[in-house]
Amino acid sequence: MKTNSNNNTINSSWISENPKKTGLIITIIVLVISLFIIDKLIHYIYPIEPLNGPEIVRAIRLREHHPGLNRIIHPDKYYLSKTDNLIAQDYPFRIDNNGFILPHNNYDDPDYKIIFTGGSTTECMYVTENNRFPYLAGQLIEEKSNKLINSYNAGAAGNSSIHTLDILINKILPMKPDIVVSMHAINDYSILAYDHTYWPVETPRSEIITINDYFPKMPKETFIWHFKGLFKTTYPNVYQKIFLLKESIIHPKKQTKPWDEWAGRRKMIKERDFDFMQKEFKWALQMIATTAKTHDILLVLMTQANRYKDNPGEFILKSMEPILSAGITYETFKKEYDIFNDIIREVARTNEIPLIDLAKLVPQEKEYMYDVMHYNDTGSKFVANIISEKLFDIISNL
């Protein structure tokens, strides 16, 4: 409402008071409606002919953590039941914009860039942030050398040597690192024993995925899918909280069961060809070694520490029940697993690659590992000291 010079009330509206904004809104509405009409007319004038066959789009999976993730993880009761000293507490788990686990130094011009690769034993998910050995080792090297060190953690649960090779080629090489430290054994053994190949089809560890499977077919569903994807990418932590809240409402009494990745394929271990498994593992490590060498990167190999003793206790045997129930004895598994660590030593020796023999240096006690091979805080700090001393010696002689 407005008044004129004679104090008479003049009826007015937002439209009359905002002619430019009104014109813009009307223009947008007319444009949207026009495009909709044009789209319908084009469909009738030039109908889209169906494809002769299905259009399949595939991609190679980069097994890394979601860039920008920032969450608190807490081991559930099922995970805790498989451990004998893991502390049930909150563990911050943060990922930088390039898929590396935080924390890490981020100097613009470091003296050395060191990248650690491997599976969950490198990832150290249930270790206090500052005690994860890929980070802590870098800090210790920096203190000893007075050099600026950026050390990155590229570990991810389930990653085999082939996944690391993929990450090395597509993510690590462009960073021009000085040193890459790689630790693999159990994941390579598992995938080769159960799937008999490094390239299983339609499993969580498959190298190739079909992109089409991720896209809804109907336009309305596609719009919602893209909106959810955009929201998840922009606000990953908010999205996770909303998802968990939705699940708690929809399934308030749902009991979470431990997920067994190999549930449908465990019996296949009886058909494994161990000679083939050894050749494949040696080949995969050699591919990593050759790739690093041709790009002037110093590769350091590490054996994988574990609690597989000659005379295992009750806890170790209980932890081994899934694999033992599939038709393999503990003695056979231990022998084959030890051979995989021997292959690491052999590849390091034949390629003149530095070796950090954690399998021999880390005591096989629960003081250092909360289950058969995952480090607790004490073990991670212990390993960080071993690694930092070895890498400091290497750096001092470069």
pLDDT in tens, 66-104: 999 898 999 988 899 999 999 999 999 999 999 999 999
**pLDDT for the residue 44:** 73
Q: What does DSSP say about strands 58-60 and 208-210: parallel, antiparallel, or unpaired? A: antiparallel
Please choose, from the candidates 59, 57, 300, 62, the residue with its C-alpha nearest in 3D space to the C-alpha of residue 174. 62
Q: What are phi and psi of 105, to 5 degrees?
A: -65, 150
Please choose, from the candidates 148, 104, 171, 94, the residue with its C-alpha nearest in 3D space to the C-alpha of residue 125. 94
Please choose, from the candidates 5, 385, 298, 30, the residue with its C-alpha nearest in 3D space to the C-alpha of residue 375. 385
Strand partners, 71: 93
SS3 285: helix
Each residue's pLDDT tens digit, 274-301: 999 999 999 999 999 999 999 999 999 9
- Token pair, residue 342, equals 């021997």
Each residue's pLDDT tens digit, 133-144: 999 999 999 999
For residues 118 and 252, give the distance between their C-alpha atoms in angstroms, rounded to a whole number.
37
For residues 364 and 320, give the distance between their C-alpha atoms in angstroms, rounded to a whole number.
16
Find out whether the peptide bond into 103 is cis, omega within 30 degrees of 0. Answer: yes
- Angle subtended at Cα 183 by Cα 345 and Cα 380, rounded to the nearest 5 degrees: 115
What amino acid occupies position 20?
K
What amino acid occupies position 303?
T
Q: Determine whether 258 is exposed, middle or buried from the number of CB atoms within 10 Å of its CB (0-12, 13-18, 19+).
A: exposed
**pLDDT for the residue 216:** 56
Query: Do residues 75 and 86 make contact, with C-beta atoms less than 8 angstroms apart?
Result: yes
> What confidence tier does 6 reach under pLDDT thresholds 50, 70, 90?
low
> What confidence tier does 209 reach under pLDDT thresholds 50, 70, 90?
confident
Whether the predicted pLDDT of 212 surpasses 70: no
Q: Determine whether 22 is exposed, middle or buried from the number of CB atoms within 10 Å of its CB (0-12, 13-18, 19+).
A: middle
How high does pLDDT run on average in the chain? Answer: 88
- Angle subtended at Cα 334 by Cα 332 and Cα 336, rounded to the nearest 5 degrees: 70
Please choose, from the candidates 89, 71, 155, the residue with its C-alpha nearest in 3D space to the C-alpha of residue 116. 155
For residues 383 and 132, give the distance between their C-alpha atoms in angstroms, rounded to a whole number.
9
DSSP tag of 290: H
Mean pLDDT of 377-394: 98
For residues 83 and 79, give the distance between their C-alpha atoms in angstroms, rounded to a whole number.
7
**pLDDT for the residue 140:** 98
Question: When comparing pLDDT for 24 and 350, which is higher?
Answer: 350
Each residue's pLDDT tens digit, 31-51: 889 888 887 777 677 666 655
DSSP tag of 155: -
Whether the predicted pLDDT of 230 surpasses 90: no
Whether the predicted pLDDT of 2 surpasses 60: no
Q: How far apart are the first and last CA of the chain?
A: 81
Whether the predicted pLDDT of 149 surpasses 90: yes
> What confidence tier does 368 reach under pLDDT thresholds 50, 70, 90?
very high
- Token pair, residue 382, equals 């212990």
Mean pLDDT of 193-199: 96
For residues 330 and 311, give the distance between their C-alpha atoms in angstroms, rounded to a whole number.
10
SS3 293: helix
Query: Do residues 189 and 337 make contact, with C-beta atoms less than 8 angstroms apart?
Result: yes
**pLDDT for the residue 8:** 53
Strand partners, 369: 375
Each residue's pLDDT tens digit, 310-338: 999 999 999 999 889 888 999 999 999 99
Beta strands in the chain (DSSP E): 2-3, 9-10, 58-60, 70-73, 91-94, 112-118, 149-153, 179-183, 208-210, 298-302, 355-356
Cα 151–chain centre separation: 17
SS3 259: coil
